[in-house]
Structure 1
Amino acid sequence: MGLEFQNFPFPSSSLVPRENSAFINTRIDWKETPEAHVFKADLPGIKKEEVKVEIEDDRVLQIRGERSVEKEDKNDTWHRVERSSGKFLRRFKLPENAKIDQIKAGMENGVLTVTVPKEEVKKADAKKTVEISG
């Protein structure tokens, strides 16, 4: 059997380009509370200065950054490389009720939290009389 099937069904790290591996592994949770949309991303080993949170046209939340490649010593022998490095980028279309001018972001213990407050939805009157024409 060839070496390409050695780690089947999971490809070895040598088959996944290093610059893409962080992008693949960046997972972001999105929950909605009565007050806000909350995004959480696990970004271990990344400093807040290496992460950008932006709002693009059409209410798109963009979270991007880069995990630096560890400097290699020519005398070192790597037996396994599982921690990813490279750039990551995630985009989320925000709903109409998002207050994009009041977004807050914070990073604590390697977890990025982005909070997007929501507009208060005005409930229509439960009963409305419709006038009949004619």
Structure 2
Amino acid sequence: MSLVRWNPFREFDSFFSPSTRLMSNFQDSAIESSWKPLVDVTEDASEYLIKVELPEVKKEDIKVAINNNYLTLSGERKFEKEDKKLHTIERFYGHFERTFNLPENVCEADIHAEFKDGLLQLHLKKSELPKNSQRHINIQ
């Protein structure tokens, strides 16, 4: 029998999470769950930069898509079972997904990504906003 520390906010956190964590049998198996990789979003004069930590995720297991002004990053970190007894598993494995609403001044055609050493960098180039982006409507 093993002791598990009780967290009174676990259910509360999962209530607001878009997907709940599904745990499989801990004895001799991996913990399968949905998880969210850590992300930093920064901005300078020419672009937005999204840095995503994806250690032990292969480039082939990452998908980046744009749909209806949303950028979605998804993929999977696979658990490779070894013939070793598991004592502690604190890292998450399984499917992940993050979605970002693109600002109006992002040029969707000029988004590019690079992946190196477990860090995915998404460069979202800014475009000029139309001069007449604000419009007043007369009331009759």
TM range (shorter): 0.7 to 0.9
Structure 2 regions of 5+ residues with no counterpart? 11-20, 24-30, 133-140
- One-letter amino acid of the structure 2 residue matched with residue 39 of structure 1: I
Q: By how many angstroms is 1:16 displaced?
A: 5.6
Per-residue CA shift, 1:4-46, capped at 9, x if unaligned?
Answer: xx423387xxx8623325x14x111111111111100110011
- One-letter amino acid of the structure 2 residue matched with residue 60 of structure 1: Y
Match of 1:66 in 2: 76
Structure 1 or 2: more helix by fraction: 1
Q: Point out the structure with max Rg over C-alpha.
A: 1
Q: By how many angstroms is 1:123 displaced?
A: 7.4
> Aligned equivalents of 1:27 and 1:113: distance in 2?
12
> Aligned equivalents of 1:80 and 1:16: distance in 2?
17
Match of 1:45 in 2: 56
> Aligned equivalents of 2:108 and 2:38: distance in 1?
22
Per-residue CA shift, 1:94-124, capped at 9, x if unaligned?
Answer: 0110000010000111100000000134779
Match of 1:128 in 2: none
TM-score if structure 2 supplies the norm length?
0.70
Match of 2:108 in 1: 100
- One-letter amino acid of the structure 2 residue matched with residue 100 of structure 1: E
Alignment of 1:1-134 (within 5 A): 3=3, 6-9=4-7, 17=23, 18-21=31-34, 23-24=35-36, 26-56=37-67, 58-73=68-83, 76-121=84-129
Q: Structure 1 runs of 4+ off > 6 angstroms? A: none
TM-score if structure 1 supplies the norm length?
0.73
> Aligned equivalents of 2:110 and 2:75: distance in 1?
22
> Aligned equivalents of 1:121 and 1:96: distance in 2?
8
> Aligned equivalents of 2:22 and 2:6: distance in 1?
14
Match of 2:26 in 1: none
